[in-house]
Amino acid sequence: MERATHVVMLETDPKAFPPAPPASLDDARVLLEADWAAFCGIGRMSDHWARPGWSPRHRAYYWMLVPSGAGGLAEEALACQELLAELGMDPVPAEGLHVTMAKIGNRDQVTRAQLDVLAASVRGTLGAPFRVAAHPMAGSRGAIRFTLAPWRDLVAVHAALTQAGEHAGVPGGRPTAGFRPHLGILYNNRDRDAAAPIRAVGTLRDRGPAEFTVDAVQLVELRREARSYRWDTVHEIALDGQDRP
């Protein structure tokens, strides 16, 4: 199955990180250097959990990629978490590893009927499964994360999901032009100078990548529990267009 063609130009977005898009969506070296340069350019890290609107009762719908059968990815994430344990950040558990794709809307903004329409409109638009490499390691203002490469297929899937959301009339989130795919493994839990985390993360950058296959997208209802994210899956759609139980 060929992937649907979505011509998308990533643009500079001050709300994205990095704000400027990379020079290539395919060249892992370019993607790694862009992520690392952006991380090295921050002066302070902020508390990831200090975000308005996320009360204990808050629920929101998102499209996610949840790697399945990616034992090597989980092992590499755990190894990096252990090597960075002295930073005192909040680790993402193996079952919580994910790539956030597109926001659909808060639970009070979206009906179940809209979610069903949205899922139906996505089927058959996402193309064939593809491989992604998760490279140690970089970060943002609020997290430590793997750099993903290549981006092209991820951007195309984001564009398809966003287009489907527009057709379904859901609120949506950030446009594809501001999409910066990544996979977080540690959430920063306090305001701090970024120098020590940057130094610590820099020691891991010669580790080899862990690859995983993207073969489905998950439509989830997301919540926070303590200092972690949890979700219930509403729909899981294989990239071949079929719903999974």
CATH architecture assigned to 28-50+59-240: Alpha-Beta Complex (3.90)
Domain boundaries, the chain: 28-50+59-240
Local confidence band at 54 (pLDDT 50, 70, 90 cut-offs): confident
Question: Are 183 and 134 in contact, with CB atoms under 8 Å apart?
Answer: yes
What mean pLDDT do residues 75-85 have? Answer: 97
Condensed to tens digits (0 to 9), the pLDDT of residues 116-173 reads 999 999 998 999 999 999 999 999 999 999 999 999 999 999 999 999 999 899 999 9
- For residue 90, give the nearest of 146, 43, 49 by alpha carbon: 49
- For residue 238, give the nearest of 212, 213, 216 by alpha carbon: 216
Condensed to tens digits (0 to 9), the pLDDT of residues 211-241 reads 999 999 999 999 999 889 999 999 999 997 6
- 68 has pLDDT over 90: no
| pTM score over 0.75 | yes
Q: How many CA atoms lie within 13 A of 243 on its CB side?
A: 11
pLDDT value, residue 71: 80
pLDDT value, residue 243: 60
- Percent pLDDT > 70 in the chain is 95
Question: Are 214 and 181 in contact, with CB atoms under 8 Å apart?
Answer: no
